[in-house]
Amino acid sequence: MIGRIIRGLAALIGITVGVALYFYIVKFFPALIKDSQVYKMLGAAISGVIMGIIFFVVSPWLIKEGKDMANWVEAEMSKLPPMEIIIGSIGLIIGLLIAYLISQLLIQISVPVIGTTLAAAVYIFMGYVGMNLGRRMVNKNKEELFNLARVLSKLSAKEKEAKDKEKAVSGATPKILDTSVIIDGRILDICKTGFIEGKLIVPVCVLEELRHIADSSDDLKRVRGRRGLDILNSLQKETDIEVEIFEKDFEDSMEVDTRLLKVTELLGGKVLTNDYNLNKVAQFQGVKVLNINELANAVKPVAIPGEQMTVQIVKEGKETGQGVAYLDDGTMIVVEGGKKYMSKTIVVIVTSVLQTAAGRMIFARPSE
């Protein structure tokens, strides 16, 4: 069915071509046809019928040859590198553009058919030359072109990554820093690991408190305050996270923690802190909190009852006979009956683990 439809369409195309060809010949060779409307119409009909029959007969062969040609072109194209195809196509387009400019001059030739024939030949020649020049250029400069393609690909990937990062940052919840977490300093290392997303907001009241601490007459407070200011500078210079000072402040009569929570509510963010009391107040007011101490406890190695570990008893415990040891991460281990092993390294067996907001405590007994 489809074959018949295609042959019918081919016949219609043949009739159209035959009629057009007849009038084209009449235009350039009027002496061949009598100047009669009847003869002209009859000639057009005969020419159309003849070309229609020819197209109808040869259409199966043309379709078969067309398919074979398409398959051959596809097979040959699949053998070529993508870069060669791209540059060759660009060369073909440039060649056709040049051919168009030349053909405009050739078409002006007054000799019938000659101008059009030459223009068609120029199109074929320039297209072929342009495509082959492009392919040769690829073969001669293959390494340079591939390096250029890699550079462009990397630039595109970096641009996409930057846009994705900007989009992620703009959509992330802002984190509001309190004084304690800045002075503590661990926030800098956490930011360097990439676990924190979004802006870090430093309220102006927190910045003022840090400045007052840094100007304190007490040596310890002054050191802590200056450390906090250094941490803020490092956050801006050593991390990719945007650090922003929130200039809007509230009544001076309010405590810093109260103003901090109001800023957090206003921005719809989360408080970053390691202050136990601020943590509780924020939870009571429905403000989301990220507690650095809770994070530190969460990433500490898990101790399972019955597990053995080697520790050094460093001091006495509160209860009679108890000894106290510490893990490398600072976790306290209370050893029942460990007092007699003071300053000695022993193997203990974990009996229980106590987890609190302040940290983790392990209870153990000597394995002997």
pLDDT tens track for 232-290:
999 888 888 888 888 887 776 678 888 888 888 888 889 998 888 888 888 888 888 88
CATH 3.40.50.1010 for the 173-297 domain, yes or no:
yes
Tell me what pLDDT residue 148 has.
Answer: 64
Q: What average pLDDT score do residues 131-147 get?
A: 69
Most trustworthy range by pLDDT among 68-77, 131-140, 204-213: 204-213
Q: pLDDT class for 30, splitting at 50, 70, 90?
A: low
Retrieve residue 204's tokens: 């102006």
- Please indicate whether residue 277 or residue 120 has the higher confidence score (pLDDT): 277
How many percent of the chain have pLDDT more than 70? 83
Topology of domain 301-366, CATH = OB fold (Dihydrolipoamide Acetyltransferase, E2P) (2.40.50)
- Of the two residues 104 and 189, the one the predictor is more confident about is 189
Residue 136 has pLDDT above 80, yes or no: no
Burial status of residue 134 (CB atoms within 10 A of its CB: 0-12, 13-18, 19 or more): buried
pLDDT-derived band at 336 (thresholds 50, 70, 90) equals very high
Q: Per the structure block, which two tokens stand in for 42?
A: 């009859």
Rg (CA), the chain: 43
CA–CA dist 178, 199 (Å, integer):
14
Alpha carbons 156 and 311: distance in angstroms, whole number: 54
* pLDDT at 151 (0 to 100): 73
pLDDT at position 86, please?
77
| Interval 33-56 mean pLDDT | 74
Give me the residue spans of the domains in the chain: 1-79, 173-297, 301-366
Is 122 within 8 Å of 106 (Cβ atoms)?
A: yes
- The CA distance from 215 to 226, in Å, is 8
Residue 349: predicted pLDDT: 93
Residue range 152-179: mean pLDDT, rounded: 70
pLDDT of residue 112: 54
Dist. CA 48–CA 202, nearest whole Å: 86
Is the pLDDT higher at 41 or at 200? 200
